[in-house]
């Protein structure tokens, strides 16, 4: 899981190189391109070669480009209590609260701290494949309700305007997804957004979801990315979970630009 690539300029990648990068992403789930220098519009345009960039209102956008969001150590819950937020501090997959989640997420390390601030990933193909035959049979066909503000959430999320919340009704997704490109089965979990298994009593649902999350985040399924400035990391939300760590020294900044594609 995960591949780091040196010597590729994403802004000038040939069609052949682009095809190779997409293939590498499908094979490795997490792909890092080192040493990039990309202004927001150039970042969006380079990422558009992997899919259609989407606007996401839940995060601030750069002034130059609406499709490039800002994830910063200085983020605050502006419409809520005004306190600092650590976006993505719990295990999750991006956009699961939406009925049509993004496929890929791209994160560009604009400013990285001297240490800490790593991003952890889990291989959800491997997590599914390691389940017992009995558990695979138990969860086959199960659906889960996902919400922006789940009662099970383990990490604060920013408060959103009422009009925006109405445009984000709860979504229902299968507990086991089949990747549309690879055809492989993967667990589809989001510790911060899942509300309940459809048709299951709450206590049983909570116990099942907690058990699956604990299984999926075992160290044997994990990769930890240590950021360098200029890294562009792309991951496939259809077969991974991830989380951010806010363990960098006090007073140091962490600034990322983010693009998601349809």
**H helix runs in the chain, sequence order:** 15-28, 40-47, 124-129, 133-139, 162-166, 202-216
Low-confidence ranges of the chain (pLDDT < 50): none
- d(Cα 246, Cα 223) in Å, to the nearest integer? 17
The pTM (predicted TM-score) of the whole model is: 0.92
Looking at residue 23, its pLDDT comes to: 96
Is residue 247 a contact partner of residue 100, using CB atoms and an 8 Å limit?
A: no
Looking at residue 75, its pLDDT comes to: 58
Looking at residue 167, its pLDDT comes to: 67
**Would strands 30-33 and 232-236 be described as parallel, antiparallel, or unpaired?**
antiparallel
Looking at residue 214, its pLDDT comes to: 98
Output the six-digit token pair for 23: 């293939």
CATH class of 3-261: alpha beta
Strands (E), 116-254: 119-123, 143-146, 171-174, 176-178, 185-187, 194-197, 222-225, 232-236, 240-244
Looking at residue 155, its pLDDT comes to: 72
Within 10 A of 128 (CB to CB), how many other CB atoms are there? Answer: 24
User: What tens digit of pLDDT does each residue of 28-77 get?
Assistant: 999 999 999 999 999 999 999 999 999 988 788 999 999 999 988 775 55
Looking at residue 78, its pLDDT comes to: 56
Q: How large is the greatest C-alpha to C-alpha distance in the chain, in angstroms?
A: 53
Looking at residue 86, its pLDDT comes to: 67
Looking at residue 197, its pLDDT comes to: 98
């Amino acid at each position: 899981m995960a591949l780091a690539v040196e010597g590729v300029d994403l802004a000038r990648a040939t069609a052949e190189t682009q095809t190779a990068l997409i293939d590498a992403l499908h094979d490795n789930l997490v792909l890092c391109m080192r040493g990039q220098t990309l202004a927001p519009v150039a970042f969006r345009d380079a990422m558009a070669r992997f899919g259609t960039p989407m606007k996401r209102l839940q995060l601030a956008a750069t002034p130059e480009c609406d499709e490039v969001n800002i994830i910063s150590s200085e983020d605050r819950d502006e419409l809520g209590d005004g306190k600092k937020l650590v976006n993505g501090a719990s295990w999750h997959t991006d956009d699961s609260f939406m009925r049509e989640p993004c496929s890929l997420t791209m994160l560009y390390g604009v400013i990285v701290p001297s240490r800490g601030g790593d991003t952890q990933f889990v291989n959800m193909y491997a997590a599914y494949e390691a389940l017992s035959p009995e558990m695979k049979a138990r969860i086959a066909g199960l659906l889960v309700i996902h919400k922006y503000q789940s009662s099970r959430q383990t990490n604060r999320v920013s408060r959103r305007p009422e009009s925006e919340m109405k445009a984000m009704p709860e979504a229902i997704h299968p507990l086991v997804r089949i990747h549309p490109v690879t055809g492989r089965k993967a667990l589809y979990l989001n510790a911060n957004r899942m509300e309940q298994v459809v048709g299951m009593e709450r206590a049983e649902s909570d116990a099942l979801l907690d058990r699956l999350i604990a299984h999926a985040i075992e160290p044997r399924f994990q990769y930890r990315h240590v950021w360098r400035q200029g890294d562009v990391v792309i991951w496939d939300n259809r077969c991974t979970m991830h989380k951010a760590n806010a363990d960098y020294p006090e007073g140091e900044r962490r600034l990322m630009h983010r693009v998601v594609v349809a």
